[in-house]
A and B are shown apart, each in its own frame.
Chain A
């Protein structure tokens, strides 16, 4: 029972272009969403979050969009840089009171 789904296992983007990573969720109780970035042999590190009262949150090159009616969120990275190459995990929780539920991750490769 995948409550958080990242249907694209991988994505390749040219340096300087926009990277768009998508995430869908099924649990309507989720109201807090996060993106984590993971390099090989390291733990996931927090990137950006959004609560359900907002539909957009921006931090530098990273923007997360939330569409509650579609139960969909996306992470936009612009411009993409080679150092952004990593696995990106989408995660969600119910008011932060329950442990984060993670998607399977999307491997982003930014090609110079």
Chain B
């Protein structure tokens, strides 16, 4: 069974940084693309970033480009999101999402999310 566990969220001041992690298990991690998707409580979903199985193909939403960096460590079955220059509008629940395949870009398994709150 696929298991995705996010960590690293918390309360942070505007302009500061935070690094999210996602520990994956139950599947062959280095065969699948991975994504981060966020959701403001009570609001809709926003795709944040995606990374190919090998880590050499990466995309970002315009709202986080040049501030967030996605990466993965296939040896550790882990996905990361480095978030710099955080803004209040980055406040959301951040989900780690497994792609259907190497790059289908559909999320077929989701973690429970980690809350990020940006506030002074």
Is chain B found bound to chain A in the same assembly? no
The chain A residues found within 8 Å of chain B, CB to CB, are none
Residues of B within 8 A of A (CB): none
